[in-house]
A and B are shown apart, each in its own frame.
Chain A
Amino acid sequence: MTTLTFEDFKPGHFGTFGPRHVTREEILAFAAEFDPQPMHLDEMAANASMLKGLSGSGWHLGSIMMRMLFDGFIGRTASLGSPGVNEMRWLAPLRPGDDLTLDVGVAEARISRSRPETGIVTFKGTIRNAAGVVLCEMESPIIVSRRAEAGAE
């Protein structure tokens, strides 16, 4: 399989990935280690919370998105890492048993000024559950190598 480089990312829809099934056990395990708020751990407290039922941590959802991005294409992309996340919107709760689908679009792709052998590709990721409800939207730049011949220009 060929490795994807900067030239492979053009503005527009890039791909749809998943579904990724999320179990109650993994929601509880992530919450216990990283986000032990009652709404992520305890059914009774969760029912009384604004989210009305047990929900996964937003940071868990972000981490799952990272894994879906890796499995979808970053694992076969000449990625050099990411400088951050411009925005994350948590729009609806992640629930035990959800089957997640990730839509990825390229918002912008430009050559790096400081490292001209690389480009910066800004991705928009949207996760939906099986009912089509958007759970989160994220925009994040990733640094990607250009093809060797392009870098030598």
Chain B
Amino acid sequence: MGFFEDIEIGAQREFGSFTFTAEDIKKFATQFDPQRFHLDEDEGRKSLFGGLAASGWHVAAVCMKLLVADGKRLAAEAAARGETVAVWGPSPGFRELRWIKPVLAGDTIRFSSRVETKRTSEKRPEWGILQIRNTGINQRGEVAYSFLATAFVPRLSAGS
């Protein structure tokens, strides 16, 4: 979670992994996405997914959970080194979110990020704007999930 000037295009980072249990999958689905293949093992097996599958929004939310946890770890490390901690701004959105392979009960997804583009904000000169591709890979090495996030990142030379 550095400042805009410290971040290089192409920078990659593994930021966490998560195992989706049947209990987690059903709990999220009951609240937000109660389609039959997210709630019941038999219905999942009969569906295109081939098993009890996590809602795509659940996969997305878990990815965010791990991103935030990693950001907090990096901020704590920066603070421990006596550096100023960069606090990132809210995101204006994302593009190209792909649910490529189903995430089934028991699957473990490892997430990583890669910085794709960076530019300064015209409207808010104290901020830069990054596009970051976040990717989730399952225990078989298959890409299951990816999306292109947009993030506001503070500039060191704010406004200059």
Contacts and interface: CB of A to CB of B under 8 A. Distances in A.
Pair from one complex: yes
Contacts of A63: 31-33, 57, 61
Contacts of A39: 90
Contact of B94 (A50, A60, A83, A87): A87
A96 to B, nearest CB: 16
Interface stretch (B48-56, B76-84, B112-120, B130-138): B48-56
B31 A67 contact: yes
Contacts of B62: 34
A5 to B, nearest CB: 16
Interface of A: 30, 33-37, 39, 49-51, 55, 57-60, 62-64, 66-67, 70, 74-75, 79-91, 93, 136, 143
18 contacts: A30-B61, A33-B61, A34-B61, A34-B64, A35-B61, A39-B90, A58-B91, A58-B93, A59-B61, A59-B64, A62-B57, A70-B33, A70-B34, A81-B47, A84-B98, A88-B97, A89-B92, A90-B91
A34 to B, nearest CB: 4
A63 to B, nearest CB: 4
Query: Interface range on chain B: under 10, 10 to 19, 20 to 34, or 35 or more?
Result: 20 to 34
Interface string B27-62: 000011111010000000001110001011100111
A57 B32 contact: no
Given A39-B90, A50-B89, A51-B90, A83 B98 contact: yes
B97 A49 contact: no
The 5 closest A-B pairs by CB, nearest first: A85-B97, A34-B61, A63-B32, A84-B98, A89-B93
A2 B97 CA distance: 31
A75 B56 CA distance: 16
Given A85-B97, A85-B147, 10 more contacts: A30-B61, A33-B65, A63-B31, A81-B47, A81-B48, A81-B49, A84-B97, A84-B147, A88-B97, A90-B90
A36 B98 contact: no
Given A66-B33, A66-B57, A34 B65 contact: yes
B62 to A, nearest CB: 7
A30 B58 CA distance: 11
A58 to B, nearest CB: 6
> Of A33, A58, A88, which is in contact with the most chain B CB atoms at under 10 Å from its CB?
A88
